[in-house]
Structure 1
Amino acid sequence: MRFTRTLLRVSLNSLSTVAPRLAGRGVFWLFRHPLTRMKVTPVEQRLLDAACHGSVSVRGKNVVTYAWGDGERPVLVLHGWQSRASHLAAFITALRERGYTPVTFDAPGHGASEGRAATLLDYREVIGRLSREHGPFEAIVAHSLGAAAAFLALRDGAARTGRLVAVSGLSDFDYVLDYFCTDLGLRPRLRAELRDRIERVLFPGEPEVWRRFDAADSPEEITARMLLIHDERDRYIRIEQSHKTAAAYGEQARLHVTSGLGHRRILGDPEVVKLTMEHVTAPADVTLRG
């Protein structure tokens, strides 16, 4: 993987000096496409086999949905980038044991769904469809990019809930761009080219996209009580992202910091699952306005 990043960095930076538009297209392609689909473990497969499978069409792509239970007390579960719904199996299992109805999906380009990529707008569209079928939700449990999608959906009115759990959550949409460019060691001109393509091609007609996709923007529009869980050594999404979200929502949000679990292993940690269930099952003290 390190060799691949080095090769990409040298190739793209060199190409940008002689063919900047071609290099820009290459960087944009890498940015928007997950490079792998996470495999299903035997435990996850048994969980998926027990689900009620459905599907919705989003921008011409078939998105696979899953639900467990009798439909009562629905909880929306959202996975992150280069992941899949079954990767949150520990949360889904714990919710089922407590009588909730977990509802989730594989985003386009992920898991069993069609397509090669997903955007936050794709997430929001699927969330809205599931909300109309199952909602309002007792809670939303989201990981990584899924957390950013949850904030967007709540602010836009695509979903309603009184409780939100954001694990390793993203706050600044700019962070995704900065991390991608820093990780590949891209020159400033390629970063500027990528930012421009994101605005023009990925989100055309979406004004102020960088502010609109910021989880900490307009905090008064979301009333759900929040539990933010983040590992202090998460190298993909730095803990400062959750600190920013927590600061924006004040007493409405509580931040729990873990150590040594990283970005993905945190999803299987028993203590993290326990804290999440305590938050989900706590008596609601807010109205379901978003």
Structure 2
Amino acid sequence: MTFADELTLKVVSTFEGYKSSMKKLKELFTRVKAIDHRDNQDITDLLWQLICYSPKMPVRLQSQQLLDEATPFTLEADDPHFSCSMLKFNGFIWGNGSRRVLITHGWGSKAADFTELITALRMIDDLQIIAFDAPGNGSSEGELSNLSLFAKAAEAIVNTYGPPDILIGHSLGAMANTIVINSTNIKPSLLISIAPLVRLRENFIATMTAADVPVAAQDKFFEAFKLLVEVPASYFNLPGLYPDDAAVKHLLVYDKEDKTAPYSYLQKFLSNHPEILIKEYEAVGHERIIKDTGLIQDIVEAVKTATL
């Protein structure tokens, strides 16, 4: 088989993987939206799948090359809610410097989605960069995922490789990082939160409302959530989870027009924490913000300053 043939097969495989993952998500959404709620049917089990299924998007060829240059590792995180087992998750390490960077991705994402940022950070001397695919995401085990699994995976990395000097998180990953700071008592010299989720419950509501789930069915789901997780969904909000001394320096970046992480939620949090450095990026969107060249340049400069 020629190199061109191998390349073609990889492209086809990537495309097919993307179609399969998105097809499942679309089918779940369509099934929920098509339900006739007049008989007051309990659809809680289906809502768990809709909300907690994280599409596993395939890795781009450029990103795969980056992963191939990393030292891979596999750790485990306990999943008492869905699989009721220990789930293996995959991680990647670039460099062996004395200053450690840990990157936590967002929902439906993976380590490889930070290719541009990781490539730029690798140009900085004396860094060790760690990224991972949370359980239920990317290349890691798990059919369903949740915030707890993100945090447990990051905590396992901290316990195995030591506390990070720099902690970077996007979206749900930024909230997971806050949980890890609380659970491990680490205090990074630099915390970077990229378009952080602020209110998890409201994100659940937005998903269910988009699928035409009536309020009564939503209430049943939240009751089931509290029974299973032992805390209400409202517990998972950034203002309540965030410790006053989370990091020596905290840089938070956002897009005011972000529909996934509304600025109105973020505004109150920021007003209570004037010590947080903030920067707005216009028209980048919730997912694309991590690939924005201006943001990557700013993060590189912040990391360089923190490592002096």
What does residue 258 of structure 2 align with?
A: 234
Q: CA deviation at 1:93?
A: 1.4
Q: CA deviation at 1:127?
A: 1.4
Is structure 2 residue 167 aligned with structure 1 residue 123?
no
Correspondence for 2:46 among 7, 22, 26: 26
* Distance in structure 1 (CA, Å) of the matches to 2:112 and 2:291: 11
Say whether the 8 Å CA contact 2:77–2:156 is kept in structure 1: no
Is structure 2 residue 69 aligned with structure 1 residue 46?
no
What does residue 266 of structure 1 align with?
A: 289
Say whether the 8 Å CA contact 2:28–2:49 is kept in structure 1: no
What does residue 122 of structure 2 align with?
A: 96
Judged with a 3 Å threshold, the aligned counterparts in structure 2 of structure 1 residues 160 and 4 are, in CA distance, closer, same or farther, namely same
Judged with a 3 Å threshold, the aligned counterparts in structure 2 of structure 1 residues 18 and 158 are, in CA distance, closer, same or farther, namely farther
Correspondence for 2:93 among 62, 67, 72: 67
What does residue 75 of structure 2 align with?
A: 56
**Residue 83 of structure 1 aligns to which amino acid in structure 2?**
S
Q: CA deviation at 1:241?
A: 3.4
Say whether the 8 Å CA contact 1:67–1:101 is kept in structure 2: yes
Say whether the 8 Å CA contact 1:80–1:144 is kept in structure 2: yes
Q: CA deviation at 1:120?
A: 1.9
**Residue 180 of structure 1 aligns to which amino acid in structure 2?**
T
**Residue 107 of structure 2 aligns to which amino acid in structure 1?**
W
Judged with a 3 Å threshold, the aligned counterparts in structure 2 of structure 1 residues 54 and 283 are, in CA distance, closer, same or farther, namely closer
Say whether the 8 Å CA contact 1:127–1:159 is kept in structure 2: no
Say whether the 8 Å CA contact 1:163–1:284 is kept in structure 2: no
* Distance in structure 2 (CA, Å) of the matches to 1:125 and 1:193: 27
Deviations 1:207-230 (A, max 9, x none): 45523x222125425244211111
TM-score in terms of structure 1 length: 0.87
Say whether the 8 Å CA contact 1:138–1:162 is kept in structure 2: yes
- SS state at 2:152 partner: helix
* Distance in structure 1 (CA, Å) of the matches to 2:148 and 2:51: 16
- Provide the aligned C-alpha RMSD in A: 2.4
- SS state at 1:166 partner: strand
* Distance in structure 2 (CA, Å) of the matches to 1:76 and 1:24: 35
Is structure 2 residue 41 aligned with structure 1 residue 17?
no
Identity %: 22
Is structure 2 residue 170 aligned with structure 1 residue 143?
yes
What does residue 9 of structure 2 align with?
A: none
- SS state at 1:97 partner: coil
What does residue 280 of structure 2 align with?
A: 257
Q: CA deviation at 1:134?
A: 2.4
* Distance in structure 2 (CA, Å) of the matches to 1:238 and 1:45: 32
- SS state at 2:65 partner: helix
Q: CA deviation at 1:106?
A: 0.3
Q: CA deviation at 1:246?
A: 1.9
* Distance in structure 1 (CA, Å) of the matches to 2:122 and 2:274: 31
**Residue 238 of structure 2 aligns to which amino acid in structure 1?**
A
- SS state at 1:250 partner: coil
Judged with a 3 Å threshold, the aligned counterparts in structure 2 of structure 1 residues 158 and 26 are, in CA distance, closer, same or farther, namely farther
Matches within 5 A, 1:76-91: 76-91=102-117
What does residue 221 of structure 2 align with?
A: 194
Judged with a 3 Å threshold, the aligned counterparts in structure 2 of structure 1 residues 11 and 43 are, in CA distance, closer, same or farther, namely same
TM-score in terms of structure 2 length: 0.82
What does residue 168 of structure 1 align with?
A: 195
**Residue 109 of structure 2 aligns to which amino acid in structure 1?**
S
Q: Please, which runs of 5 or more residues in structure 2 have no aligned partner? A: 1-21, 79-85
* Distance in structure 1 (CA, Å) of the matches to 2:41 and 2:298: 48
* Distance in structure 2 (CA, Å) of the matches to 1:163 and 1:125: 21
Deviations 1:175-195 (A, max 9, x none): 222221232232111211121
* Distance in structure 1 (CA, Å) of the matches to 2:47 and 2:233: 19
Q: CA deviation at 1:231?
A: 1.4
- SS state at 2:239 partner: coil
Q: CA deviation at 1:26?
A: 1.2
Judged with a 3 Å threshold, the aligned counterparts in structure 2 of structure 1 residues 129 and 30 are, in CA distance, closer, same or farther, namely same
Q: Number of aligned pairs?
A: 276
Say whether the 8 Å CA contact 2:73–2:90 is kept in structure 1: yes
**Residue 82 of structure 1 aligns to which amino acid in structure 2?**
G
